[in-house]
Chain A
Amino acid sequence: RKEVEQDPGPFNVPEGATVAFNCTYSNSASQSFFWYRQDCRKEPKLLMSVYSSGNEDGRFTAQLNRASQYISLLIRDSKLSDSATYLCVVNKGNTPLVFGKGTRLSVIA
């Protein structure tokens, strides 16, 4: 099983739709989880941290499922500006954070 695995997509959704991405991780001892957003040819930017009880930031909701070892990102009321690649990031003990390869989202008018 890969350390961090994401469906590469692309997910093509109409404006206003709700879309969800999952990310699975292999290390059951992982403690820190993040979602990053990367626009084409730009640096990754932190979207949100993922907390054990789940957390919400406006239209974005992140969830953690430790039993099944996955995190999820839900985007409600999708905007054209949400089009980007979403990277799942997980810690692995004392070594640097591990990045998934990303899920590409395209929101269509």
Chain B
Amino acid sequence: NAGVTQTPKFRILKIGQSMTLQCTQDMNHNYMYWYRQDPGMGLKLIYYSVGAGITDKGEVPNGYNVSRSTTEDFPLRLELAAPSQTSVYFCATSPGGNSPLHFGNGTRLTVT
């Protein structure tokens, strides 16, 4: 039972490159979330999903895209990386909207 798995753990991108951050869960949770956390700052919600086929924007969605074709997977896509997207990205899941979240270990992304 792995819980929430994020890959890669670290990545360095050049400006303008694209990449997909992977998040997969084996807890059969309906809700999945993507957050970013800049150094010394709080968590900011990028996108979330309440079930397969449904996604919604969070607080800071610009520059990102998501899809949710299965319950298990919720990838986050960066199309044109910018230095402002340098951050730590956390994926999280929960069984319901008011339930506590379970986080993955995070992906540290640097855009130079």
- Residues of chain A whose beta carbon lies under 8 Å from any beta carbon of chain B: 31-32, 34, 41-46, 49, 87, 89, 91, 94-97, 99-102
Contact = CB atoms under 8 A, between A and B. Distances in A.
Interface of B: 31, 33, 35, 41-43, 45, 48, 58, 88, 90, 94, 97-106
B103 A96 contact: no
Nearest to B45: A96
A43 B100 CA distance: 14
Q: Which 7 pairs across A and B sit closest by C-beta, in order of nearness?
A: A101-B42, A43-B103, A32-B98, A99-B43, A91-B98, A46-B100, A96-B48
Nearest to B104: A43
Given A91-B97, A96-B97, A45 B103 contact: yes
Contact of A97 (B42, B90, B101, B104): B101
8 contacts: A42-B105, A46-B102, A89-B100, A91-B97, A96-B45, A101-B41, A101-B42, A102-B42
A100 B104 CA distance: 19
